[in-house]
Every structure is written in C-alpha cells, then in structure tokens.
Structure 1
Amino acid sequence: MFQAFFPFVSLFFRIREDREKVTGYVENVIPNYLPDDFKRMFRVSRETYSKLLGYVSRSEEFALRNPNRGRSQIPLEKILLMILWYFGTQESAQSISDRFGVQQSTFYKYQEKVMDYFCNILCSRFIVWPKEDEKNEMFRNFQSKKGFPGVIGALDGSHIPITPPKDRQREYINRKGFHSVVLQAVCRPDKRFTHIYCGWPGRVHDARVYRNSDIYSNLYELCGHNHILGDGAYPNSRCLLTPYRDTGHLTAPQKLYNKIHSSTRCIIENSFGLLKGRFRRLQHINIYNIEKVVKVIVSCCVLHNMCIMNTDELDDIYDDHVDDNPDCPPQYRIEDAEGKLKRILITRQLSS
C-alpha cells in the first residue's frame, strides 16, 4: 500500500512543480498589446474594458481594503481581465489561474463576485425592454429591412452546450443529441437583447420555455399595439406573430408573408451567433452547477449589449443554428382570434 502511495505523491509534486505561474502578464505584457491584439485576446475593445472597469470600480463589493491589513488585494484591472479571458476562451480555470498568476481558489472567488455583479446590477441596466419612444424607432428600423410592420423585437431560443449535472443528465439532452440549457431572448434591430430568460433543460420545447417565462404573462403590456416575431415553435397571438404552418396548401400571399417574416426575424439568430462567436465560453460551459451556468450566460449577454452600445464590433460569428424545433405542440397552440386576424391583415398589406 505504501509502495503504491509514495510514487503517486512524488508524481503529484512533480506535476505541481511543472505548473509555473506566469509572472508580469498583466503588468508587463498586456500594456504592449496593440488595440486589435487586445480585442482578439479579451474579446472587447480597450474602450469597452475601460467603461466596464468604471462601472465595477464604483461598486462597494470591489472596494479596496485597508492596505495595512491582511494580504494585498488583487487589482481590479487584473480581476476583470481574468474574467474576460474566461468568457472569451475555452481555457480551464487551472490554466487561467496560472496565466494571471493567482491561486485557482482566488480565480473562483472573483469569478463568482464579478458574475454576481453582472447579474444583479448590470443586467437591469443593459438588458432592458424599449421605452415607448424607442418602440417607434425600432418598428421603423425593422420595417425598413423587409417591410414587415409593427415589429419591436425578434424572439427565439438557443441551445448553450453544457456538462450536465451527474444525476440529471437525461433531462438536458436536446433534439440535436447533446446536453444543453435553453437561452430564450428577444433582440432589437441592432442585435442587442431586450429580454433574456435561461436555464431550462435542453430537452424542453421552446414553446414550454416561453410559456413559463415572464415575457409570456406580460407580453400585451410590453408590446401594446406592436408585436414581436417568433418561429413556428411558438403559438401565434396578437403580440407574437409566427409564420403560417406549411401543410402544402399555402397561398401565394401566405408564402410571401412567411418569407418576409423569416427575413425579418432572423436578426435574433444573428444575435446568438455574434454572442457565441465573441464569448466562446458559451460554445460549451463545463460546469455542473446550473445556477452558475446561468450566471455565465447572463454575464455574457450583458457584455454583448455593452459592446454593441459602444460600437465595439467583432467579426467572429458562431453559426450553430439548426431549426430543430417541431411546430408548436398542440397543448400550447391556443387559438388566438386577434392574432389570427392580425396576421391576415398584415398578409394582405404585404402582398398589396
């Protein structure tokens, strides 16, 4: 027994010795990055990073302790760069800790603090439903694309690959055959999210996720006389217009409606592609704790909106969209007379 144990201990310490932490990366290397190199590494521009630093630095949660007491605190600049690196890569926590010269436990501590700040403070600031005066501008922007009137948002769900909880793996297998949670979102014409709702297991149909979200119960108040667009996975209603079900007997005006509807609605798919392309952690979140998975997703959505508001563009688009949802299940396909009439009137308007 002891003969087997001591070689293991020796190997363990040899591995620990091989893991050398990087010294001076934040202090000496990053300041020399050109703007494009900084954005490529951290997935945001220096300007966006500086604004984010300004927001976080005003939080009491990250206020510097008395320097005369205890160990020196890690600079906030290093903390944010470390977490941005996490969001932008698939690198392990161990590797990130070594890169930034901190203990792995320290990385986890600040990862939790930063994500809590994003979810509890910044989310309500940057992911907001449009005000009345903004709605007028938004439906004009949507209508200028393909002519579809009255649109103030596009709705869809996206699968975020995860490592599932060990005792609930089957719940998270989606129709594509991998484990995921669903991110439901509504976006503006500029790809900013105006509403997000996430955390449901990947096997759950989009219609059920929508039915359980707060936007479902508040949609009439949020939209007024306007509407958002969703694909055939959702129930058609006065404030959520979907395409006609293609049973092989659609009329020419109905086909035209579907085509313009799809061309207008696809902005949400582009938003998801931009989100996952910029923050590559969302291409697979290797965390068992679903609550923490949700915090990662929400934090990335907040950063996504911040970047767009700061005209911080990135060309990396991640295209994993597959129309994997069947039509809206019968139990959610409630006949909405107002929605049916509204769709008919818009169909006539588009074909006139």
Structure 2
Amino acid sequence: MDDVLEALVLLFVCLVVHAVQQHPLSLGAGEGKRSKRCQHFFAGLHARRRARRKMLLGILPKPRKSPVVWAKERNTEWWQQTVLGSFSEIDWLENFRMRSSTFFYVVSELQPLLERQKTSFRDPVSVEKQVAIALWRFATNLEYRRIGEQFGVSCTTVYHCIHDVCQAINKVLKPQFLRQPTEAEFQSTAQGFEELSGLPMCIGAITCTHIPIMGPEVNYFDYYNSNGWHSVSLQGITDHTGKFWDVSVGHPGRAHSARILRISGVWQRATSGHLFHSVSREVCGLQVGYSLAGDCAYPLKPWLLRPYSDREPLSPARQEFNQRVGRAHRVALEALARLKGRWRCLLKRNDCQLWRLSNLMKACCVLHNICETHGDRFFPDWLTIDRGDFPQPVCRLQDQAEEGVEALRTAICEHIQQAPCESLALQTCNL
C-alpha cells in the first residue's frame, strides 16, 4: 500500500514539473497571437482614416492660387511717341487748344489730386494722359469709345478721367483763375472798359448762352427753351480782356436771362452791397458806382446798365449810349465765342448727367481763362462753326427802371456826349 501511494506521489510530481516546464511556451504564443491581431486592427484603422481623408480633400475647396488680373492689351504708341515725342506747338494748339507749356502747367497743378498709387496689378494712368484725355473731349466732344482707342484706354477709364479732371480743376484752379477781382483789379478793369467803350465805372460785361443737352428724365419740359431744343444756361461776367470772373451754370433752358440773374449769386451780392467796393465817381453831378454792361434781356439797376428800348425813336444821345453799352457788352459775347470755339463740347449736345455737365462747363471757363492768361493763340477758323442746329434763344425785357436809376443812366448819357470818342461798328455774334 505504501508502495502504491509513493508511486502516485511521484507521478503527480512529474506531472507538475512537466506542466511548469510547458507553461512559459503557451503564454508566449498567446501574446504573439494578440500582437498580430492588434497590428491588423491598427492597420485597418489607418487605412480607413486615409480613405476618409482622401474623400474630404476631394469635397473641400482647393487652396487659393495667386490672383491673376486680366487686362486687354491696348496700343499706346500714338500717345507715347507721336504726342509726347514729336508734337509741335501748332499741333498742341490744334488738338489740345493750348501750348505744351500751358498743358504741363495744368498737369503740375493737378498732380496732387490726380496721381494714383502704383500697384502690383497694373500701372495707373499717368496724370499727363488723364489731362490730355479730358482736353481732347473738351475740344472735340468725341464719344468715349473713339477717345479710348486714340489713347489706348477703355471707355470707362475715359469717363472717369474726364470727370476727375473737371473736379480737380474746379477745386484747385478755379479759386486762382475764376474769382471776384480785387479792388486794384476792379480799377484796372474800369479803366480798360472806359478806354474801350467810353462808359465810366464799368467793371464787367454780362451775358447768357445756352448749352445743348439730351432731354432729362426729370423736369423734361423745364429744359425745353423757346427755340425748341433742350438746354442749360451759362451766365458769364467778363472783364475788359474777355476773361470770366464770375459764372453761373446749370439753370434750365426755359428760364429767362433775367430770372437766371435773379437766382444767381451775383444778384444776391449786388443787392446786399457786397459785390462791389464802395467806390464812386462824380458824373454830371451824380455819384456813379461800379456797374455791369448788359443787353435788353436784363433789368436796369444802379449796378447794371442796359440799352434804351428801340421800340420808339431814340435821340442821337441815346443812340450813342446804346452803342457804347453794346460795345462793352460785345466783350462778353466775344468771350463766349472764344470759349465755345476753343472747347467745342459746349456747342454739341451733351449726354452726361446735369451735375457733371455743370462741373464741365465751369472747368471749361477756368481753362479758357488759363489760356487767355498764358497768351495761348486762338485761331480764327475755330469760330467758323455751324450753329444752325441750335440757334440761341433771344430774350428781351421791358425797359422799366427803379426810381432814381433812370437819372443815373441819363447822367452817363450826358457824360458820353461831353466826352465823345470814335464810334466803332458793332459786330453781331449769334451765340
């Protein structure tokens, strides 16, 4: 019995020893199988992530590329080589209505307002070309497309150049060349008008003209003048040399010249005593102050002379007075003729907005004064223009004078008789 028990114990020990020896091998095999399963799982996970990432990259927008600006290639050879390279002074006058020195003076004055910053997209239009485009439009009134082809720019660029130059002229040059004269300048103008016409204390000639326009959509009939076409008015006052020192623009063509005067700034300043300085001169026993010379469209005022009405026979003295007033008034008529001859856009129908047209008209008057101041030549053939399509309306006003004003006109009439001067034949200008 003891032998059997001892044999069983020995067998148990052998089994235990065998189990212990085999256990590490079984654990290592299990860990190896689990490691392979983990590797397979994570490989599948990474594959699914890569697939999902590719799908998202296909749906989401691609990264932005560098911007590309498209611009049409245009020919600028005419401006660069012909105008700037070989234009003579006659060419400058014929095409831009001013000498090259006057042109570059205007450019230098407007450069601070018109110069544009250079960017990486494209080069800006130079100030010289902007001013040249505007002057070409003023002198020819050509359509934007043809001007753009001439200068190598787009129609939109032409449009912006014209109106930018007009605004710059009115802001920079108008205060210098279109302003009320000083006292010394008034005295010089009065002396010049007296030498020219014999009128004492005359410091300006006033007149009004009409500029053709396209009929506006708003207040259509207000701009329909008495001659049957749409227009806006330009009232100008000039000195004895034909330069404007006051303009009022943009009034509807249906308005009478006297009405335009009454709503202008000149009327307000004159009636309040702020237009002229308190300077007077004794003429045939009366104190005569500064005055303007007008035509029969204007009322008779202490500061505004008009001719006697010719509806009744006039005495020789009154006829002579009418000639002298007409001679002074002719200065304004000739100034308007030169203005329109130089800037022909004022002769043809304009299609721009009314407020832009007002800026253009004032800019043309400023440029007229600059050309006259710099002595730029005016060719007589610029006046040989056809005005048959737009004949100017004729305005007349009944000759009624305020109390005391008729005595003033009578005193001036007697002064002319006492100091006669050579009579000049009056030239008529249908402006």
TM-score (norm. length: structure 1): 0.88
**In the TM superposition, what is the alpha-carbon distance from 1:21 to its structure 2 partner?**
5.0
Distance 2:408 2:220 in 1: 42
| Partners of 2:244 and 2:365 within 8 A in 1 | yes
Distance 1:68 1:325 in 2: 54
Instruction: Show the 5 A alignment for 1:22-171.
Output: 22-30=75-83, 31-57=85-111, 59=112, 61-65=113-117, 67-171=118-222
Query: Partner of 1:222: helix, strand, or coil?
Result: coil
Letter aligned with residue 81 of structure 2: N
Unaligned 5+ segments in structure 2 are: 1-71, 278-288, 419-431
Residues 163-221 of structure 1: per-residue CA shift (max 9 Å, x gap) = 12134432222222222110000001111000000101111100000000010011242
Query: Partner of 1:197: helix, strand, or coil?
Result: strand
**In the TM superposition, what is the alpha-carbon distance from 1:120 to its structure 2 partner?**
2.5
Residues 221-257 of structure 1: per-residue CA shift (max 9 Å, x gap) = 2234211111111111111111111221322211111
| Partners of 1:142 and 1:264 within 8 A in 2 | yes
Compared CA separation, residues 23 and 323, structure 1 to 2 (3 A):
closer
Match of 1:7 in 2: none
Distance 2:139 2:372 in 1: 16
Compared CA separation, residues 72 and 22, structure 1 to 2 (3 A):
closer
Match of 1:3 in 2: none
Compared CA separation, residues 277 and 318, structure 1 to 2 (3 A):
farther
Q: C-alpha root-mean-square deviation of aligned residues, in Å?
A: 2.1
Pick the aligned partner of 1:243 from 302, 307, 330: 307
Distance 1:104 1:236 in 2: 49
Distance 1:86 1:177 in 2: 26
- Which range moved further: 126-135 or 336-345? 336-345
**In the TM superposition, what is the alpha-carbon distance from 1:308 to its structure 2 partner?**
0.5
Whether 1:257 aligns to 2:321 is yes
The structure number with the bigger radius of gyration is 2
Residues 131-184 of structure 1: per-residue CA shift (max 9 Å, x gap) = 101111111111111211111000010111111213443222222222211000
Pick the aligned partner of 1:221 from 274, 278, 301: 274
| Partners of 2:257 and 2:395 within 8 A in 1 | no
Match of 2:281 in 1: none
**In the TM superposition, what is the alpha-carbon distance from 1:324 to its structure 2 partner?**
3.8
Whether 1:192 aligns to 2:258 is no
Distance 2:327 2:115 in 1: 47
Compared CA separation, residues 167 and 63, structure 1 to 2 (3 A):
closer
Pick the aligned partner of 1:349 from 415, 418, 426: 415
Instruction: Show the 5 A alignment for 1:312-351.
Output: 312-315=376-379, 316-317=382-383, 324-328=393-397, 335-351=401-417
| Partners of 1:138 and 1:188 within 8 A in 2 | yes
| Partners of 1:274 and 1:318 within 8 A in 2 | no
Distance 2:331 2:115 in 1: 39
Letter aligned with residue 266 of structure 1: R
Q: Percent identity?
A: 26
Distance 1:258 1:64 in 2: 54
Distance 1:340 1:21 in 2: 66
Distance 1:323 1:34 in 2: 36
**In the TM superposition, what is the alpha-carbon distance from 1:35 to its structure 2 partner?**
0.9
| Partners of 2:180 and 2:246 within 8 A in 1 | yes
Letter aligned with residue 99 of structure 2: S
**In the TM superposition, what is the alpha-carbon distance from 1:76 to its structure 2 partner?**
1.1
Compared CA separation, residues 47 and 325, structure 1 to 2 (3 A):
same
Unaligned 5+ segments in structure 1 are: 1-18
Distance 1:105 1:326 in 2: 40
Query: Partner of 1:210: helix, strand, or coil?
Result: helix
Compared CA separation, residues 251 and 324, structure 1 to 2 (3 A):
farther
Distance 2:375 2:89 in 1: 14
**In the TM superposition, what is the alpha-carbon distance from 1:318 to its structure 2 partner?**
5.9
Distance 2:145 2:392 in 1: 36
Match of 1:4 in 2: none
Letter aligned with residue 339 of structure 1: V
Match of 1:203 in 2: 254
Higher relative contact order (CA 8 A, sep 6+): 1
Distance 1:94 1:142 in 2: 45
Letter aligned with residue 94 of structure 2: R
Distance 1:323 1:114 in 2: 29
Instruction: Show the 5 A alignment for 1:293-308.
Output: 293-308=357-372
Distance 2:391 2:300 in 1: 21
Compared CA separation, residues 349 and 322, structure 1 to 2 (3 A):
farther
Compared CA separation, residues 240 and 118, structure 1 to 2 (3 A):
same
Query: Partner of 1:266: helix, strand, or coil?
Result: helix
| Partners of 2:193 and 2:199 within 8 A in 1 | yes
**In the TM superposition, what is the alpha-carbon distance from 1:339 to its structure 2 partner?**
2.5
| Partners of 1:48 and 1:307 within 8 A in 2 | yes
Aligned length: 328
Query: Partner of 1:336: helix, strand, or coil?
Result: coil
Compared CA separation, residues 322 and 337, structure 1 to 2 (3 A):
farther
